Amino acid sequence: MGKVDFGSLRRLTPISNTFGFDRGLPVDRYYIEKFVCANAKHIKGRVLEIGDATYTRKFGRSNVSQSDVLHLEEGNPEATIVADLTKADHISSNTFDCIILTQTLQFIFDVTSALSTIYRILKPGGVLLATLPGISQIDKQWAESCYWAFTVQSAHRLFKNKFASSDLKIEAYGNVLSAISFLQGLAVEDLHIKDLDYNDSSYQLIIGIKAVKPYRKL
């Protein structure tokens, strides 16, 4: 079989334990931004983003008439809405044209209730842009509330409880090289773009979901 020279990768601790932020753009962020950018045309009207409005500003720009930020707890200066997505009855139904939900559902144990809220507060015809982690290390800062990792298959079963399959587009990003690099804490700058852009469904690093709330009732 020959011999494998692991070189810098023969180690029991990662090269970076901050997901690669100290080296450049983390590998998962490359895929997240690629997904959001590909769906930028849907970021318009009244837009809700979780935590901050980074992607609303970057990809929505002048197409956004109102930007809202949801945060779980008070104290976030960007937050316009303080709510727990699993029990957010105070958010009006049929409110948002687009919801950007990146890397959030893994921290919510009751994901079914969270998705019910998201579906309810989307306007008919509104678009949810969500990303979920697949292959990933666990962030020590959030370890106690990191509940889930996903695959295309599990995402489809979860989301089709609220959205019709015809209103869902779910895709995976990643390959064995990008997965290893992400686990080691390497950054996009350490890799070639052509290597990042090769997708192998056996190594699902990021799952991207576009879900449209229909005008019709399911």
What is the pTM for the complete model shown?
A: 0.95
Along the 218 residues of the chain, how does pLDDT read in single tens digits? 788 999 999 999 999 999 999 999 999 999 999 999 999 999 999 999 999 999 999 999 999 999 999 999 998 899 999 999 999 999 999 999 999 999 999 999 999 999 999 999 999 999 999 999 999 999 888 889 999 999 999 999 999 999 999 999 999 999 999 999 999 999 999 999 999 999 999 999 999 999 999 986 54
Distance CA 78, CA 146 (A): 23
What topology is assigned to 41-172+206-212 in CATH?
A: Rossmann fold (3.40.50)
Closest CA to 43 of 100, 89, 94: 100
Dihedral sign for Cα atoms in the order 195, 200, 202, 205: positive
Distance CA 127, CA 192 (A): 32
Distance CA 133, CA 108 (A): 13
Q: What is the DSSP letter of 112?
A: H
Give me the residues paired with residue 98 across strands: 47, 127
Domains of the chain, by residue range, sit at: 41-172+206-212
Distance CA 60, CA 79 (A): 18
